[in-house]
Amino acid sequence: MEAFDRRDIETLYRHIGEAETITVTVHTHPDGDAIGSGTAMVSYLASVGKDAVLVFPDAYPSTLEFLVTGDMEKRIIVAENSKEAAEKRIRSSDMIICLDFNSFSRAGDLEECLADAQGEKILIDHHIGPDRECFSLCFSETETSSTAELLYSILMELPGICHDAGKLPPETATALMTGMTTDTNNFANSVFPSTLAMASALLDAGVDRDLILDRIFNGYNESRIRLMGYLLDRCLRITDDGVAYMILGRKTIMKFGIQEGDTEGFVNIPLSVRNVRMSIFLKQDKDRFRVSIRSKKGTSANLCAKEFFNGGGHELASGGKLMIPDDVRNITEAAAYIERVTHIFLNR
Ligand SMILES: [Mn+2]
């Protein structure tokens, strides 16, 4: 990660100083990094006396509820359930901090409200290709494990913290460790020297990593592991090009009683097969298939997502969508589409 421009840190610090009402927001279907960096930011801002609120576009998974308890609970608005309150909050904020996404379109129904809002808009994110013109200040860095790590490095620079992780509020430290741990899949990918340095400093500051691991990896519903078995047994296909894919349809979601977050990490599993270069996981949602793509070094999940799946993200981990019925009408068509476009993608 490059060192920050001193002036950007000073500008951020000045904005925080001047603002009274600050709203933090993250992407739709928030994952551990979005929730971790979001709650970390809000708990830090609250500790310096700000009226800080975290707006989620939609529901967060139950395995991450532990970050949203106590004082934090009063500082959360889920827009999907309280659209008016969420929009009113965004409109009346002096400052809006967007975490773990690169463009307002990733905030779902909040897109317009965020675009129109008058407050100072700050981006802190690690995805490729941020919409810089939408923000007055951008901290965009792809050479980092997670938004949580990027936020950690920014907080370390602020007066009052001065490179001492022990000065972070304990909830902030725990949330940062959680975000980094989930985005690296527990140190399996995107780990930089700075990532381990952060983990070390946070452990030293007293973060209980055993507790975090227990919450995020041992807190799933039984239905998740049953579904995993079903998908791997019945639905996994591996093409001659080395593309593994699984498609989870609405009927199966209903049958297994699957909740938001229950399929987290499924897309990574087929990468353990020797000849698999890329893994694609599709999950049916109201009017679309949500797409997750992971690849091994040498194959770009990002380019494939951008060109064929209306998305993007990171070089080896990306997401996107296939609209129903415009892109594909059903599971059969989705499977045919994946086989056709990945064959083109990997053979030119
Ligand atoms: Mn992230």
Please tell me the distance from the alpha carbon of residue 138 to that of residue 262, in angstroms, as a whole number: 32
Q: How confident is the prediction for the chain on average, in pLDDT?
A: 97
Q: Is residue 26 scored above 90 in pLDDT?
A: yes
How far apart (Å, rounded) are the C-alpha atoms in residues 224 and 85? 33
Q: List 99's β-bridge partners, or say none.
A: 124
Find the 182 Cα to ligand 1 centroid distance in Å. Answer: 9
Instruction: Tell how far the Cα of 224 is from the centroid of ligand 1, in angstroms.
Output: 22
Q: Which domains does the chain have, with CATH numbers?
A: 6-217 (3.90.1640.10), 223-346 (3.10.310.30)
Lowest mean pLDDT among 28-37, 160-169, 205-214, 257-266: 257-266
Mean pLDDT across 292-318 = 96
Report pLDDT for 257: 95
DSSP state at residue 69: -
Give the pLDDT of residue 260: 84
pLDDT in tens, 27-55: 999 999 999 999 999 999 999 999 999 99
Q: Is the pTM of this model over 0.75?
A: yes
Peptide bond into 325 cis (omega under 30): yes
Q: How far is the CA of 17 from the centre of ligand 1 (A)?
A: 27
Structure confidence at residue 3 (pLDDT): 80
Instruction: Give the phi and the psi of residue 74 in degrees, each rounded to 5.
Output: -75, -10
Supply the DSSP string of 260-300, one letter for each residue. Answer: TTTTTTGGGGGGGSTT--EEEEEEEETTEEEEEEEE-TTS-
Give the pair of three-digit tokens for residue 224. Answer: 């998740």
The pLDDT score that the predictor gives to residue 327 is 98
User: Which tens digits make up the pLDDT trace of 219-237?
Assistant: 899 999 999 999 999 999 9
Radius of gyration of the chain (CA): 20
pLDDT in the model for residue 1: 78
pLDDT in tens, 172-210: 999 999 999 999 999 998 999 999 999 999 999 999 999
| 203 CA → ligand 1 middle, Å | 21
In the structure, ligand 1 is a single-atom ion and the residues with CB under 5 Å from it are 33, 100, 146-147, 183
Q: pLDDT for 73-130, tens place per residue?
A: 999 999 999 999 999 999 999 999 999 999 999 999 999 999 999 999 999 999 999 9
pLDDT at 261: 87
